[in-house]
Amino acid sequence: MAWLSLKIQADESSAGALSDALMDLGALSAAIEDADAETLNERAIFGEPGEPVDSVWQHSVVSGLFDPDADIPATVAAAAAAVGLGDIPHYTVENLAEQDWVRLTQAQFDPIRISSRLWIIPTWHTAPDSEAINLALDPGLAFGTGSHPTTRLCLQWLEDNIHGDEYVLDYGCGSGILAIAAMKLGARQATGVDIDPQAILASRQNAAQNEVDVDFYLPDGAPQQKVDILVANILTNPLKVLAPLLAETVREGGKIALSGVLATQAEDVLAIYRNFFDIEVAAEDEGWVCLAGIRR
């Protein structure tokens, strides 16, 4: 069986209402996506510390899935009228054939080569290099599969800076990938912290899958202990707000690596962290940077 996939261009004032209207008009499902996703204009819509919570993206794509016999032009016209749009918005329609969605999803994720000795391997793949350090990690609810430049930057930095016997803290651990990698690279101990309980659950499962001993905590439950290395792959505004806390966590002479920062945002973050660290841009990948420094 095939379905019809409708996509409508919308702005932030109409996206939510259009999505609701499509459901009222018989859509099997509806969703709102960022029209600027995977570009430098991509932006988060959840609230960062010190910032208001956005309701939806400024430029959106409202999608709806319909039965193959649905009258799409009439549906779009009715949805536009329901939300008070004067003109019919631009839209596209595609035939969506029935597929094995599990296999299709898995096919999008191949092994990721981080360096000559570090790979990320989805569990349904065989490691291309059995002698390498292979992180078994599947896509899930938490950020951090190795496909994003910020994760790659942090992994490469860890590979260069872990020499054995370090205590590593992964702040904003997401999938736990950085803490897990730290242990596989030879760290003595690694801990992960995240504000999302789902991330903590995913991280614990990923650590078990990789047969490494890592503890993961919500912020209030994390141990108060100085660390040798701290990595934080989050976002610019949280990094700014968290600077005093993160600095206090790193021992004198310890190292910090920060990512989730666009190259255009680097100086703003550096200006704050230079109060505590000798820190500079260490690497750049696709417009994202890794900032690294040593605690004074």
pTM here?
A: 0.68
Closest CA to 66 of 91, 34, 38, 40: 91
67-76's contacts with Cβ under 8 Å and 24+ in sequence apart are: 67/3, 67/4, 67/26, 67/28, 68/1, 68/2, 68/3, 68/4, 68/95, 70/4, 70/26, 72/4, 72/6, 75/6, 75/22, 75/25, 75/26, 76/6, 76/8
Q: Give the angle subtended at the CA of 210 by the CAs of 198 and 284, to the nearest 5°.
A: 75
User: What distance in Å separates the CA atoms of residue 195 and residue 222, rounded to the nearest whole number?
Assistant: 11
At 236 the pLDDT is 94
- DSSP 8-state symbol, 122: -
Give the DSSP letter string of 7-67. EEEEETTTHHHHHHHHHHTT-SEEEEEETTTTSTT----SPPTTSPPPSS-SEEEEEEEE-
* Pairing state between β 112-115 and 189-193: unpaired
Terminus-to-terminus CA distance in the chain, angstroms?
64
| Residues 66, 27 contacting (CB under 8 angstroms) | yes
CA nearest neighbour of 178 among 69, 261, 260: 260
List, in sequence order, every beta strand (DSSP E) within 59-208: 59-66, 91-97, 112-115, 118-121, 133-136, 167-171, 189-193
108: CB partners within 8 A, 6+ apart = none
Which domains can be identified in the chain, with CATH numbers?
Answer: 2-98 (3.30.70.120), 111-295 (3.40.50.150)
pLDDT reported for residue 47: 47
Q: pLDDT tens per residue, the chain (296 residues)?
A: 678 999 999 988 899 999 999 999 999 999 999 988 877 777 665 544 445 545 568 889 999 999 999 999 999 999 999 999 989 999 999 998 776 555 555 555 778 889 988 998 888 888 888 889 999 887 665 565 667 899 999 999 999 999 998 999 999 999 999 999 999 999 999 999 999 999 999 999 999 999 999 999 999 999 999 999 999 999 999 999 999 999 999 999 999 999 999 999 999 999 999 999 999 999 999 999 999 999 99
**pLDDT of 171:** 97
Are 75 and 41 contacting, i.e. CB atoms less than 8 angstroms apart? no
Looking up tokens 């109409």 gives: 14
DSSP β-bridge partners for residue 256: 230, 293
DSSP β-bridge partners for residue 231 = 170, 257
The region that residue 92 occupies, defined by phi over 0 for left and psi between -120 and 50 for alpha, beta otherwise, is beta
Return the pLDDT at 48.
47
pLDDT of residue 88: 93
What pLDDT shows up at residue 188? 97
Q: Identify the pLDDT of residue 292.
A: 98
- For 191, the token pair is 């801990």
- Percent helix, strand and coil across the chain, each rounded to 5? 30, 30, 40
pLDDT digits (tens, 9 = 90+) for 52-68: 545 568 889 999 999 99
